[in-house]
Structure 1
Amino acid sequence: MLRIIGTTSREIQTVKNHPVLAEIEAARPTLRKSEVKVADFVLQQPEQVMHMRIVDLAQEAQVSEPTIVRFCRAIGCNGFQEFKVRIAQEMAVARNIGQFAIAEDDSIEDICSKIADTTIQRLNQIKNQLRPAQISAAAQAISTARRLEFYGFGASGAVATDAQHKFFRLQVATAAYSDPHMQAMSAVTLGDEDVVVAISQSGRTRDLMHSVELAQQHGATVISFAPQNTPLSEAADIPVFINIEEDTDKFIPMTSRIAHLMIIDMLAVAVTQRRGPDFSAHLNAIKRSIKSLRIEN
């Protein structure tokens, strides 16, 4: 059980239900520059922050202690102590729900429950961490692209194929490649009107980084789906941060793949919206074209 030293019952009762990390993300565009430094540090290291004193956080974020107080109030906390309580409770929930391990003697009910609970919690975590500005920038780039290419290996290659299936219906010239040689050949044929979406659970795949570098050398815009502070996210023109840790020693990535698919859906809807109301006639025509392939009741 998590214990928070020096916290009164009144302070615990004031803790709000809404995730504080999501509130920080939402408030970030309206914060002062010094407060943004605090926000970025907290979002990157929430586990460390909940054990800090105000002077420690001020030193790490390179701001003054009054700035920390203003930051806490800007995200709806009465002060630093309440802010730490909310961080600690959110981290406790994430640990209790988000961590699972399959044991040798687990029943099928145990397996189903563990995987379903973890997937739901991780998707909610991604939603809270999501930066809408990144999705908006990616959707805008895709909306104006001459060609749209999706690159990924392994489980990420399956996501790339699903993305191609969604976006070719939106009248975007699109392709998906999960072979390094095909990616390299694709990359050198791109230009400054083209977009690459590079997908990676680790953000550190050497062959994918090579394909991205080639695409950028030829003028293409690169969107990445990868964890923050990884080589792929730092190299991308438009990074979309998807921070999920998975045990890939025993199992293939599961929740990261589903999170990537969720982001693909967000982008597809955003691009469709940018097409305007007249575009619905095209989508209806696609639905009619495949209706004859289905068995009627």
Structure 2
Amino acid sequence: MNEFLFNIPAETYKQLSESERYLLEYIFKNIENIPDISIVKLSEEANVSTATIVRLMKKIGHDGFTSFKYNIKDKLNSKESIEAIDEIDTKIQHAIKKNELEVLNTIQMINRGTIEDTIQKIYDADKIYIFARGFSEMIANEMTIKLQLLGKNCEMHNDPNIIRVISSKLKEKHLAIFISLNGETEELVEACKNFKIKNISTVTITASLDSTLARLSEITLCGYKGSHSFFPDYEVRSRLPLQVISRIILDAYVIRTA
């Protein structure tokens, strides 16, 4: 997988066992709770052995789970700015903190090499197609307009039928960018499979490290998505991590091509 988590090189990630990848994904999804639990508790909650935890920690560059916890705790504590809003209602403080963590954790997860590779793909592409559905369409539309302003031949598609048709027509020098929060949107996955068969470059911006789109894509940029939603009855989760990644890509592209 072309992805970095906590500055883990892609080659290291590929060498992890299935259970170690599962554990890494579990830690990723529950990162805010990790500094406060023991290795035994993590073993119980993630349903893995303590030996698997120790092996994973060593593979990703830590002496053990305790040193990993301290590292994560230091990062989280460095983000504490809640004192500035002490007089705001506690629940609103939580909402502010949720957004702050999504932004800061997403920025920390982005690897410079992956950004550089994405910039190069955009620069070399004769034409760029951006595909998105639902709330992700707003981010896709912004990226499309800005790339057009930068002189790139770029178009965005959100209709399932059109996405399927176009996915069979892209050429080798074209680039496909997918924007999907969960990375499992059926028509996007189908298109990405077609592109992989035809050896067409693909970039996925998502918040799901182990999603189908992330596994299929040549380049994957993954953001941090908090576990809590203030709209639990509807599929309207925040695309803030995807927005952060897209803006970094565009800003970096301008800097590199100025």
Common fold, TM-score beyond 0.5? yes
Q: Do residues 273 (structure 1) and 255 (structure 2) align?
A: yes
Among 115, 121, 133, the residue aligned to 1:141: 121
Among 241, 246, 253, the residue aligned to 1:264: 246
SS state at 1:151 partner: strand
* Alpha-carbon distance, 1:112 to partner: 5.6
Among 60, 64, 67, the residue aligned to 2:52: 60
- Aligned residue pairs: how many? 230
Among 209, 216, 229, the residue aligned to 1:235: 216
In 2 relative to 1, CA 246–70 (structure 1 residues): closer, same or farther, beyond 3 Å?
closer
Higher helix share: 1
Among 14, 25, 29, the residue aligned to 2:6: 25
Among 179, 182, 188, the residue aligned to 1:202: 182
In 2 relative to 1, CA 213–179 (structure 1 residues): closer, same or farther, beyond 3 Å?
same
In 2 relative to 1, CA 83–139 (structure 1 residues): closer, same or farther, beyond 3 Å?
same
Structure 2 equivalent of residue 250 of structure 1: 233
SS state at 1:25 partner: coil
Q: Counterparts of 2:65 and 2:93 in 1: how far apart (Å)? A: 37
Structure 1 equivalent of residue 85 of structure 2: none
Greater gyration radius: 1
In 2 relative to 1, CA 68–41 (structure 1 residues): closer, same or farther, beyond 3 Å?
farther
Q: Counterparts of 1:206 and 1:70 in 2: how far apart (Å)? A: 33
Conserved? CA contact 2:131–2:177, under 8 Å:
yes
Among 154, 173, 197, the residue aligned to 1:174: 154
Query: TM-score, normalised to structure 2's length?
Result: 0.71
SS state at 1:263 partner: helix
Q: Counterparts of 2:52 and 2:62 in 1: how far apart (Å)? A: 16
SS state at 1:171 partner: coil
Which residue identity lines up with residue 124 of structure 1 in the other structure?
A: L
Q: Do residues 190 (structure 1) and 170 (structure 2) align?
A: yes
Query: TM-score, normalised to structure 1's length?
Result: 0.63
Q: Structure 1: where are the runs of 5+ without partners?
A: 1-23, 74-78, 98-107, 278-297
In 2 relative to 1, CA 82–236 (structure 1 residues): closer, same or farther, beyond 3 Å?
closer
Q: Structure 2: where are the runs of 5+ without partners?
A: 83-87
Conserved? CA contact 2:25–2:210, under 8 Å:
no
> Superposition RMSD on alpha carbons, in Å?
4.0
SS state at 2:39 partner: coil
In 2 relative to 1, CA 43–130 (structure 1 residues): closer, same or farther, beyond 3 Å?
farther
In 2 relative to 1, CA 57–37 (structure 1 residues): closer, same or farther, beyond 3 Å?
farther
* Alpha-carbon distance, 1:176 to partner: 0.7
Cα distance per residue 1:178-204 (max 9 Å; x no partner): 111121222222111111111111111
